Amino acid sequence: MGLLASRGLTKRFGGLMAINQLDLDVEDRAIHSIIGPNGAGKTTFFNCVTGFYRSEEGTIEFDGVSLDGLSPDRITSMGIARTYQNIRLFANMTAMENILVGMHPHLRSGWLGAILKPPAVVKEEREAHQQARETLQFVGLRGMGDLLAKNLPYGQQRRLEIARALASRPRLLLLDEPTAGMNPRETMEMMAFIRRLRDDLGITIILIEHQMRVVMGISDRVTVLDYGTKISEGTPREVQSDARVIEAYLGTKAVAQ
Amino acid sequence: MTSIPRWRDTVRTGLLWGAGAVFTSLVGLVAALQPRQIITGVISGGHALLLVALVAAGISAARRYADAPRRAAAGALAGAIVGASVAALVLLARVVNLRAMIVGATPELFALLTLGRGSGVLPWIVLGAAGLGALGGLLTVLPRQVRSIVTTGAATLLGVGLLQEQVQLLLQSDRVARLREIVFTFDGLTPVGAGLVVALSTVLSGVWQWQQPKTKERMAALPPTRRRVLQIVGFAAGLGAILVLPLFVGPFFSQVLVLVGLYTLMGLGLNLEVGFAGLLDIGFVAFFAIGAYTVGLLTTTGPLAIAHVSWWTATMIAVVVSLISGVLFGLPILGIRGDYLAIATLGFGEIIRLLVLSDFLRPVLGGSQGVLSIPKPVLFGFEFRGPEQIFFLALGASAIIAFIAARLRDSRLGRAWMAMREDEDVAQAMGINLVNVKLLAYGIGAVFAGVSGAIFAVMVGSIFPHSFSVLVSINVLALIIVGGMGSLPGVAVGALFLVGLPELLREFSDYRFLVYGAALMAMMILRPEGLWPAPAQRRELHEEVARIPEGELVEAGAAGAEDP
């Protein structure tokens, strides 16, 4: 059994089956990609894992603990972090502040500590700032800490969003199309960076991705969804040659040819 | 050529200002200012208002053009259109009996608009208006420093003229009686006085313009310790000036300042809810009322008393009561967002007011008769008797609460509030417990307003339900918007502008909300970030990072991230 396991997961929106009886296992320290046509239920799966949506049926377990019914903030504290398909940074806060918010679950000071500022709080804040700066540097945003998130260029916003997710010290990181809108060079850099997250930090990664070059290049395992149902799973090579996958992407005619 | 649509723009600008001039005339604002002389026998308040409108129309029309002649021409055209609009109003009033529909269309107004010379003078008025518009247009051509000096002079003259009653009050002392006689008549500035005021303000402004960059340079050149000393000296001097203020300005001004202080306190509280945490609250006055009634009932010597504790104890209790009511108030509206939140909070504010007014609670809260005879606070034998003493109460409370607000803003909690303001869902996904954080925002915001209410109770000595109308909430919201959402100094600036100024300009009292509306719209168009916006970018310390080699940092980051 892996780090994350879903069993019979089902999510409906009215009559629409967004996710249908999904069994998914993600191994510890894996880079696991989820692919599929638009509307296949990939982001919905992320929303179920992180507690944004309540599933109608099925269970999700993280490291043997059930996530059912937990609020998003509880799930984050357990070690799951995510990024968003359309970047959702705190636009009017600085890059530093964005990361400091990400560290929220690991800091302790409350309202009284904030007002009185005893030495313990001063020390905690100083260390948090130092750590936030290091995180900034780790994602290559050194010296950008004072800039408002909305003023950063697109590629750096993507990286800041990952930095914010890293700040909560996750064991599992869900990346929703991290290379969307990137040119080939930026895409290559992002791939190397994602690998580093796993290799250097030991973080398990679930990746939603549309660029097949990225998926095939860095994934240990690929799951293919179509209309909320898992239609194929395996190594990139296995999935690539699966007739059902080609059918889902290109239609039945392509398979016949 | 693009000049055709640009001329159309100029015409539109002129028409807009013209409509504004006609509107302010018809609602009676111009006539209301008329008795107030700016310079006795030379220019009155009403005329000054129209004059400013003409010059402003010229300035806003000229902005679209590059060279001086075109700017002057655009200004002249816009000015002429404003003049023509007013002239058209005068002519219309001769044909139609406007007064039957509009109360403000008085014969006095039309006498004022035609300078008392009948409609024969109208062509000259249009011509003069064009001239003033052109003057406005030419103002924009001047170099920045000169322009700043000229506008400072004009604004000071206008300010001193409008506030001459108050300025004269300040010059009550016999030692300066001679000066007062030279500068003022009983209802306005003398021409000599006006000259003095303009000369003094332009010279000061000129010196400032000329010396400011140099002073800044010299400050920057000083060693940090010396600079720190200078800053402390400056701060102490400012503080000293504020502390002795009530001795010099007398009871009337002190009263206005106390009011500004009370609104600053409420503004700090609402700013915490709306500016920091993004929780729109239009029922904020409820907490002000709760603070005031708690103190009133606990200290009054009247029949409604439930205890006879000192004001200080009562205020402590009021803090706790408003904290609890803030949290209780937050509970049912935890899941409500945005516009819906505004309506829900509005309802809460009204519930509290109606409860206070109700017959049901009359035996406890006094109904519309209110709570009377609330004694003044005493500290070590010093009685906070009148506004000059209560000023210190308001000042002290404002200082403490501003400090608390600043500390909260820069803390983990403050960051959580701002994250929630930016994106509630993502904030929750960052591990922020929305319930805790929201209730803290409502609770602490309520405490600030409760303290304000506690001081209000002793300021007026008796409290009535009508002091806690929804308009107070709107005022507080308006002042934090004008000051700058999320900015702490902005709250004080906003309170000075929206609470202090209207108190001084009592002619405006009927038009208070007209001026509010205009000020809010102007702010949203010209300066949406507020008069004193919150610093968007704060400095962080770079030095430490620079000293750590790249490789180590990656490892440090890795180790940090692996920690469970």
Contacts of A146 in chain B (CB under 8 A): 537-540
Is A131 in contact with B538 (Cβ distance < 8 A)?
A: no
Contacts of A72 in chain B (CB under 8 A): 425, 428-429
pLDDT band at B541 (very low <50, low <70, confident <90, very high): very low
pLDDT band at B183 (very low <50, low <70, confident <90, very high): confident
DSSP state of B66: S
Is A52 in contact with B545 (Cβ distance < 8 A)?
A: no
The pLDDT of residue B307 is 81
Kindly report the number of other CB atoms within 10 A of residue A251's CB atom.
10
Q: Among the listed ranges A73-77, B177-181, B378-382, B388-392, which one has the minimum average pLDDT value? A: B177-181
- Whether the CB-CB separation of B11 and B77 falls below 8 Å is answered with yes
Put simply, whether A96 touches B (Cβ < 8 Å) is yes
The pLDDT of residue B539 is 42
pLDDT tens by residue, B64-99 = 888 888 888 999 999 999 999 999 998 888 888 888
What is the interface size between A and B, counted as CB pairs within 8 Å?
142
pLDDT band at B451 (very low <50, low <70, confident <90, very high): very high
The pLDDT of residue B553 is 40
pLDDT band at B408 (very low <50, low <70, confident <90, very high): very high
The pLDDT of residue B250 is 76
Backbone angles phi, psi at A21, to 5 degrees: 50, 55
Q: State the best of A74, A80, A98, A138 to mutate against chain B, taking most chain B CBs within 10 Å.
A: A138
Smallest CA–CA separation between A203 and chain B, in Å? 8
Cβ-Cβ contacts under 8 Å for B122 (sequence gap 6 or more): B87, B90, B91, B114
Domain B251-534 matching CATH 1.10.3470: the answer reads yes
Put simply, whether B444 touches A (Cβ < 8 Å) is yes
Structure token pair of residue B503? 């108190």
Q: What angle do CA A217, A220, A224 make, to 5 degrees?
A: 85
pLDDT band at A254 (very low <50, low <70, confident <90, very high): low
pLDDT band at B560 (very low <50, low <70, confident <90, very high): very low
Q: What angle do CA A24, A30, A36 make, to 5 degrees?
A: 50
pLDDT band at A252 (very low <50, low <70, confident <90, very high): low
Quote the radius of gyration of chain B (alpha carbons, Å).
Answer: 28
pLDDT band at B5 (very low <50, low <70, confident <90, very high): low
What ipTM does the predicted assembly reach?
0.91
Is A109 in contact with B538 (Cβ distance < 8 A)?
A: no
First to last CA, chain B: 68
The pLDDT of residue B557 is 38
**Judged by CB atoms within 8 Å, which residues 215-254 of A form the interface with B?**
none
Mean pLDDT, range B227-249, rounded to an integer: 82
Does the pLDDT of residue A21 top 70, yes or no? yes
Contacts of B416 in chain A (CB under 8 A): 101, 104
Does the pLDDT of residue B544 top 70, yes or no? no
The pLDDT of residue B268 is 95
Helix axes B338-357, B285-299, angle to 10 degrees: 30
Does the pLDDT of residue B551 top 70, yes or no? no
Q: Report the distance separating Cα B550 and Cα A134, nearest Å.
A: 10
Q: Report the distance separating Cα A138 and Cα B558, nearest Å.
A: 9
DSSP track, B104-163: T--HHHHHHHTTTS-GGGHHHHHHHHHHHHHHHHHHTTS-HHHHHHHHHHHHHHHHHHHT
pLDDT tens by residue, B209-235 = 788 788 878 877 777 788 888 888 888
For chain B, give every residue range classified as CATH 1.10.3470: 251-534
Structure token pair of residue B555? 């490892």
Q: Report the distance separating Cα B65 and Cα B72, nearest Å.
A: 9
The pLDDT of residue A62 is 94
pLDDT tens by residue, A171-219 = 999 999 999 888 898 899 999 999 999 999 999 999 999 888 888 899 9
Put simply, whether B435 touches A (Cβ < 8 Å) is no
DSSP state of B33: H
The pLDDT of residue B3 is 52
Which of A76, A82, A101 has its CB closest to that of B415? A101
Q: What angle do CA A18, A26, A45 make, to 5 degrees?
A: 15
Distances in Å between the Cα of B407 and the Cα atoms of A39, A121, B276, B438 are 46, 12, 12, 18
Q: Report the distance separating Cα B340 and Cα B338, nearest Å.
A: 5
